[in-house]
Amino acid sequence: MFGIIGSGSWATALAKILTDNHQHINWLMRSDAMAEEISKNKCNPNYLHSVVFDTSLLNLETNVSKVVSASDHIIIATPSAYVVDTLNTLSKNAFESKKVISAVKGIIPQENILLNDYLEKEFNVELKNYFTIMGPCHAEEVAAEKLSYLTFSGADEETAVEIATYFKTEYLNTVVNDDIYGVQFAAILKNIYALGAGVAHGLGYGDNFLSVLIANSADEMAGFLRNVGIHNIEVGKHEGEDPVTHKRKANYAASVYLGDLLVTCYSLYSRNRTFGTMMGRGYSVKEAQKELNMVAEGYNASKCINIINKNVKAEMPIAETIYKILWDQLNPEEGFKQIEEALV
């Protein structure tokens, strides 16, 4: 049985996919009031109101320990900044004999590490029992049942394939690879660049500039991934056939890397792009956070990547400038004049 930790838009979309496939789920709610609302009205009162649930498939809980203990597969779908507080009441062996599936597209800011490294450190979760669900996939389009793709990654690729079968529907296709670190870093970086795309939009730059900015961001992302040891970076080159899926092996042009970057930078559903647009229009960080009323993962990620890159040493003028705009109060117009000079 699946357990879902998180009750925001992405968690709600994942709950929809599983229950559309007639899976019973244990679902962690933020409050008793939210649980009562879903039980009564069959929809999440705060997110994706169009999604109607078969409540006979839902076991709604406000106790994280109960959700974890009752589930074989645990999906963590909270914003990265809330993971530590959400899990801190669990025992050290809470995830023993369980498969943990990350739907977190950010770095744990308190530790400045990826979720799998945090879970190994705090709960002894081995990498073989850790999997990821990544995009490109907006929750709103899942709710509308518009065809989307999810990428499942795991060191144990056969189990990743098995997990993916629970999510395949008429409106959702699944892709599998074994690149756990690559897909997580790509998901983190694309949120930073989407913030930058939003800032550019807010400043009044047009589509021509945006296309150059995103192309350079893709190149910058690939450079970072290469420096941290990720393979299959070269576009147009596929290193043989995947032994499990029997498809050609994914490279950096695959949907989970370049595709997720593109949709997050361009889509009006993108909260990171929206956050950046407000910054470009003169909002302060606090004003943008209040207006958005949702977490833009790229904000904390920009600081975390800035710290990590001191060791990685990738050339990242775009990400560094976005960090300075968000954290060092660099004027967005001045920052983008610097970015203009760095683009090729």
- Which residue of the set 99, 105, 190, 249 is catalytic? 190
For residue 324, indicate whether it is catalytic: no
DSSP state of 257: I
Q: Which of 165, 176, 171 has its CA nearest to residue 139?
A: 171
d(CA 25, CA 39): 14
d(CA 306, CA 161): 34
Asked if residues 210 and 197 have their Cβ atoms less than 8 Å apart, the reply is yes
- With residues binned 3-state (H G I as helix, E B as strand, rest as coil), the percentages for the chain, rounded to 5, are 50, 10, 35
Structure tokens at 156: 């144990």
d(CA 113, CA 111): 5
Count other Cβ atoms within 10 Å, centred on residue 243. 9
Asked if residues 245 and 176 have their Cβ atoms less than 8 Å apart, the reply is yes
Count other Cβ atoms within 10 Å, centred on residue 126. 13
Alpha helices by DSSP H, the chain: 9-20, 32-41, 64-69, 83-87, 115-123, 139-143, 157-165, 180-203, 207-227, 260-266, 271-280, 285-292, 297-312, 317-327, 332-342
| Enzyme catalytic residues | 190
